[in-house]
Structure 1
Amino acid sequence: MSTYNIERVLHYIDGQFVEGLAGKSFTNISPFNNQPINEVAEGFREDIDRAVQAARRAFDEGPWRTMSVEKRLGYIIRIAELIEANAEELSYLESLDTGLPVSQTKKQAARAAENFRFYAEMVKSRMIGEAYQVDQSFINYTIHKPVGVAGLITPWNAPFMLETWKVAPALATGNTCVLKPAEWSPLTANKLAHIIDEAGLPSGVFNIVHGFGETAGASLVAHPDVQLISFTGETTTGSEIIKNSADTLKRCSMELGGKSPAIVFEDADIESALDAVVWGIFSFNGERCTANSRLFLHESIHDTFVDALKERIANIVVGDPMEKETEVGPLIHRKHWENVMNYIAIAQTEGAEVVSGYIPETYKEGNYVAPTLLLGCTNDMRVAREEIFGPVMAVMKFTTEEDVLRMANDSKYGLAAYIWTNDIKRGHRMAQGIESGMVWLNSQNVRDLRIPFGGSKSSGIGREGGHYSFEFYTETQVVHVATGDHHIPQFGKKPRTGAKEQTYGPV
């Protein structure tokens, strides 16, 4: 694949690419060799304020929310077309920035374009109201109106797809927005700004401020002129965002961490289950919120399944993310690598057997973690309870349906779950018994843009995706219309009998 010129990344505010007011920057580091890629303008409170003011003007005074739906959605379709035209560069930048294999980032670019096309269609076909007639006297109806300025805070795993997943419904429904992308993955967010600039959106409708969560992100959350905060990321950060947004009564959507179970019963299609759980934890370098990081195997198939897992991880291709054969690349940042490696060390101290794949010596400068199994785990171990967010899977044994359901639910997280059984009644019992926002039954993690996405417990608040996004990105307004004669109570129309004249004011 060809390389592209990687320049300094600037903020995009009010239709212009600009430096931060403080003139500071930070270095973007390659996960492949930990060498600098480029410099990125660092944003602070004053940059967030400038971006929010631009978004506020564009919402209050600009044409975005008042233009015809057809014209606004024409811009949305144009963004999708430009994403498709730049797909090769986007997949390259995503791999360069994150370490994700390019074979996987190519698919993410296609999904990103589909996000915009999908919401252009959804606004036309599903952003509809309801009407309620009361005899011949009234008709009450609902409409969806854009809320205002949306603050969008996105993570570094699959960043481009997740950025577009938020930007597309925010803009399609008539809001303006300020995007604060993850500081570890600025390249495709910057390319998105160039794409939107080329699409010709009115100034201020879309803005980006790069920077760190503690400064730029916190300032976006606290800003009084931001009505919405959509956040995808770690649970502790999400909790802080909710606390910090309370003073300004923001609407928040939180897609947070996970420790999702995969449960394989003795009657499952073993080969399909094996394919699914290997893909589910080791694709995207294991940096996936819905990864099946806990694997529960029925005792009768445990040993055979584990032997097959060992063979699979020995054959997974760990390598250069730019090579099409690579299946697992480096983790995004050295700090994250250290955290994942620390969990592997914890697993050993807790008594788990650690089985890892192979990393070629030529990649020792990168943030590589070999695909790893933690065998002999129990559900009370830290490595079975805490989110590792890497290519590491804790494997456990179970005996009965009741036993595994209890263990699966014994977690503070509740994002996703995967069940493998050919007993369809048991499959439905398990799916409905598991405490998670999403369950896949005899399936790997496949996404339909029409369905809601989100978790329960510490895995999130709210749902986005499909028409469910309208609940977050729009205000439902009720209009009451009198259509006939009706009685209106009369207050103060008749003088009181025997009432004395009342004098108001000074005497």
Structure 2
Amino acid sequence: MTAHVKPLTDFTARDFRMLIDGAWTEGAGNVIERVAPGHGVTVSRYPAGTKADAGRAIAAARHAFDDGSWPRMTGAERSNILLKAADIIAARADDLAFLDCIESGKPISQAKGELAGAADIWRYAAALARDLHGESYNTLGQGTLGVVLREAIGVVSIITPWNFPFLIVSQKLPFALAAGCTAVVKPSELTSGSTLVLGEILIEAGVPAGVVNILTGTGPEVGSVMTTHPDVDMVSFTGSTGVGRLTMANAAQTLKKVSLELGGKNPQIVFPEADLDAFVDAAVFGAYFNAGECCNAGSRLILHRSIAGEVTARIAELSKKVKVGDPLDPATQVGAIITPQHLEKIGGYVDGAAKAGASVALGGAALDLGLGQFMAPTILSGVTPDMAVAREEVFGPVLSVLTFETTDEAVRIANAIDYGLSAGVWSRDFDTCLTIGRRVRAGTVWMNTFMDGASELPFGGYRQSGLGRELGRHAVEDYTETKTFNMHIGARTGWWMQR
């Protein structure tokens, strides 16, 4: 189901500046213009940050960490500021959601849901600021006491992608701040608006100057400095696996700590006794949520051969009802594709699969909705594990259907890729769910549901899906170093005196 896009009327593109050391600056470079993928008009302008801008931002964060108040505040003081930021995020949610909608092409209803989730994450991180603690050991003998401290790691470079602009920075920055770190943040040059507004929010909430610096610009110009500079102690990156490898190589020059949340090619394994009504709904959601531009997308269905035909037909019928259209329409479920180049790449995967022997059961082509760039919800059947569309991250609304006969075969297909971010298993037999869950190599395994989440649950992947975990009670610990105090009590017998 499609609907034509309405032109933006009475709309003026918004001009932004970068935040460096508590001041808004135009930077030393040119201007980046963002054209809305759903409406085809310029909606935002940002400074194209330079290497010099990145150096100034890192220097500000270094000074704020080494000499400023933020790392030396109590956990309660930092927590109160983060809670105030969460309240302002909630109050400005409509403005932030609008920016994410027009810059990324995601549906406005989805963007508002993400903002609610982001506010919850900031509140959760605020609670962890007061709960961060080390360990003590009084079992080492009468003359020894051991204390293990957790100290903020220092300056953190945070680099975020375009597909969830506000949500993903909210999975990183509040935990770094809760630990007492300072940060330099670079959002994608395609979707920088809401992160820059976050800078306004943090200033209003009381975050001191230099603690959070926000740069706009490209990876080669700005990101390269953020990942190699010796004054940066840690890099937290979300994006493609290819750029993640480059980030890790850059950080290795000075042995920085690295946290990477990268790609996924996530399977849903479905057995005949599953609740197929629930699964069909989850399959459509998992494939087309955020137009499939989601590392967690359920892009591979691994169906038992006895139900594959029936289930594929049911998914196709429900997919026809999915509304593709104007991102600003509250009824839209699938919005625009981020760039024309990415739309072409998605189409290339579909064409390649068809040439390799897969069948296009639904969709398969771009949609002309009058403005912007859109892709039809697409289902490919007859996909085999060796095809590129079954192994590589398409990052679009494309669902690949594979089949299996035995549990061993299902697990083998699920694990036969480079990624291990998430997976789903569907069966009314919970023994089956647990067996699959234990054997599939993925950071998250959903059982009889898909793409649920909570701030309390860790998120991250195995293998080339990344390193480390975000969210959960240990997320704040990722931004710390441990320091051991080994304390001697009373007189010490010296080594020399024992001779």
2:388 to 377, 382, 387: 382
Question: Could you tell me how far apart the structure 1 residues matched to 2:464 and 2:87 are?
Answer: 37
Residues 162 and 187 of structure 1, relative CA distance in 2, 3 Å threshold: same
Instruction: Report Cα offsets for 1:43-78 as digits up to 9, x if no partner.
Output: 121110000000011111111111222222111111
For 1:105, the aligned partner's letter is A
Letter in structure 2 aligned against 1:17: W
Superposition TM-score, scaled by structure 1 size: 0.94
Question: 2:135 is matched by which residue type in structure 1?
Answer: E
Identify if the C-alpha distance between structure 1 residues 320 and 190 changes in structure 2 by more than 3 Å, giving closer, same or farther. same
Which residue is equivalent to 1:477?
483
Q: Quote the Cα distance in structure 2 between the aligned partners of 1:39 and 1:403.
A: 51
1:235 correspondence with 2:241:
yes
Partner of 2:183: 177
Which of 1, 12, 15 aligns to 1:8? It is 15
Alpha-carbon distance between aligned partners in 2 of 1:416 and 1:72, rounded to the nearest angstrom? 33
Show the 5 A alignment for 1:419-498.
419-490=425-496
Q: Which amino acid aligns with 2:487?
A: V
- Residue in structure 2 matched with residue 503 of structure 1 by the alignment: none
Match of 1:501 in 2: none
- Confirm or deny: 8 A CA contact 2:78 2:129 kept in the other structure: no
Q: 1:361 to 1:258 in 2, by over 3 A?
A: closer
Query: In the alignment, what sits opposite 1:18?
Result: 25
- The answer to whether structure 1 residue 410 and structure 2 residue 416 are counterparts is yes
Partner letter of residue 293 of structure 1?
S
Query: C-alpha distance in 2, partners of 1:4/1:266?
Result: 52
How far 1:490 moved relative to its partner? 2.3
**Aligned residue for 2:3?**
none
From 94, 98, 101, the equivalent of 1:95 is 101
* One-letter amino acid matched to 1:176: T
Of the three residues 298, 302, 314, the one matched with 2:304 is: 298
RMSD value, Cα: 1.8
Return closer, same or farther for 1:8/1:364 CA change in 2, 3 Å cut-off.
same
Residues 266-285 of structure 1 show CA distances to partners (whole Å, capped at 9, x for unaligned) of 01011111111111111111
Residue 6 of structure 1 and its aligned partner are, at CA, apart by 4.2
Are the equivalent residues in 2 in contact too, given 1:101–1:328 (CA < 8 A)? yes
Question: What secondary structure does 1:346 align onto?
Answer: helix
The change in CA–CA distance for 1:358 and 1:244 in structure 2 (over 3 A counts) is: closer
Which residue of structure 2 lines up, in the alignment, with residue 135 of structure 1? 141
User: 1:477 Cα shift?
Assistant: 1.1
**Cα distance in 2 between the residues matched to 1:113 and 1:454:** 20
For the residues of structure 2 that align with 1:350 and 1:364, how far apart are their CA atoms?
A: 32
Q: 1:251 aligns with which of 232, 252, 257?
A: 257
Secondary structure (helix, strand or coil) at the match of 1:467 reads coil
Q: 3-state DSSP class of the match of 1:38? A: strand
Aligned length: 491
- Tell me, in whole angstroms, the C-alpha distance in 2 between the residues paired with 1:358 and 1:428: 35
Structure 2 vs 1, CA of residues 2 and 334 (structure 1 numbering), >3 Å: closer, same or farther? closer
What is the letter of the counterpart of residue 303 of structure 1?
Answer: G
Counterpart residue type for residue 86 of structure 2:
A
Structure with max Cα Rg = 1
Point out the more displaced range, 255-264 or 473-482.
473-482
In 1, Cα distance between equivalents of 2:341 and 2:324: 20
1:358/1:340 CA distance change after superposition, 3 Å = closer
CA contact (8 A) 2:441 2:462 kept: yes
Structure 2 residue matching 1:231: 3-state secondary structure: strand
Q: Which runs of 5+ in 1 are unaligned?
A: 495-507
Conservation of the 8 A alpha-carbon contact between 1:76 and 1:117: yes
Q: Does 1:350 align with 2:325?
A: no
1:93-118, Cα deviation, whole Å (9 max, x unpaired)? 11111111111111111111111110
Over 3 Å counting, the alpha-carbon distance change for 1:223 and 1:360 in structure 2 is closer
Matched, 1:124 2:130: yes
Shift of 1:332: 1.3
Change beyond 3 A, Cα 1:3–1:380 = farther
Structure-2 residue corresponding to 1:286: 292
Task: Report the Cα distance in structure 1 between the residues aligned to 2:91 and 2:68, rounded to whole angstroms.
Answer: 29
Aligned counterpart, 1:191: 197
Give TM-score, length-normalised by structure 2: 0.95
Secondary structure in 2 matching 1:12: strand
SS at 1:281 equivalent: helix
Gaps of 5+ in 2: 1-7
Alignment equivalent of 2:160, drawn from 154, 157, 163: 154
Offset of 1:82 from its aligned partner?
0.5
Distance 1:213 1:361, change over 3 A: closer
Is the contact between residue 319 and residue 359 of structure 1 (CA under 8 Å) also seen in structure 2? no
Aligned-residue offset at 1:426 = 1.5
Question: Which of 88, 97, 111 pairs up with 2:117?
Answer: 111
Structure 1 residue 488, shift from structure 2 partner: 3.0
SS of the counterpart of 1:136? coil
Q: Return the letter of the residue paired with 1:338.
A: E
Counterpart in 2 of 1:505?
Answer: none
Q: Percent identity among equivalent residues?
A: 37
Inter-partner Cα distance in structure 2 for 1:186 and 1:50: 19
Check whether the contact 1:184–1:333 (CA below 8 A) recurs between aligned residues.
no
